[in-house]
Amino acid sequence: MRDGVRTKERILEIAGEEFANRGYDGARVDEIARRSKVSKNLIYHYFNSKDALFVAVLEQAYQDLHERHRQIALDDTSPLEGVRRLVKEVFTYWSQSRRFIGYLNSENFHKAKHIKKSQNVHNAYVTLIATIKRLLADGEREGVFRAKVDPVQLYISISAMAYHYFSNQHTFSVVFKKDFTATNMLAQRLQHIEEVVIGYLRDKTSSG
């Protein structure tokens, strides 16, 4: 039984690498089987199809994201400090999640056809969105944040500013003739995102 669990975990690990590097279309079950040192039949025994294998990889990535969200300590902070922590955690997550970027690029190309088959991925953001909603309400009540900020829209904006940077890091480096992987550039980007988000939340002139 334990050997079966380890084998399944190894298949998922190798499949994760293949899907991240080659996308859904480019990944081959033959190659995943070869690298995993198992037969294709065994892969299909565990996962039924290439589609099901990719769904399992996506579900694992979203579960990891959910666990990361649960570990963000935002309950013992002021609204401003909580948002700063949130921005830093989201930025750090995407800096360390190049595989997930690969999965999402491929899955968005396919219009989310695989993720629609999952019953579990919807839970990945529930806890975090509830926490952001509380931070925003506290900030609004204390008079430091604008009113009626949508927590989902805010999270998407924070995530997008980090995700886009890391998914385009190498092309940006060529186009702008700067090393966007350098430590100082990462620090500048993080500071910029924080300033944009905090500036938006504190600007109450157009809220309502």
Q: What is the CATH number of the domain that holds 21?
A: 1.10.10.60
Q: Residue 207 pLDDT more than 60?
A: no
What does the pLDDT look like over 167-177, one tens digit per residue?
Answer: 999 999 999 99
My answer on whether 98 and 157 are in the same domain is: yes
Distance from C-alpha of 22 to C-alpha of 57, rounded to nearest angstrom? 14
What does the pLDDT look like over 151-200, one tens digit per residue?
Answer: 999 999 999 999 999 999 999 999 999 999 999 999 999 999 999 999 99
Looking at 48, 66, 87, the residue that finishes a domain is 48
DSSP 52-88: HHHHHHHHHHHHHHHHHHHT---TTS-HHHHHHHHHH
Q: What is the pTM of this model?
A: 0.88
Range of the domain at 33: 1-48
My answer on whether 82 and 150 are in the same domain is: yes
pLDDT: is 76 or 101 the higher one?
Answer: 101
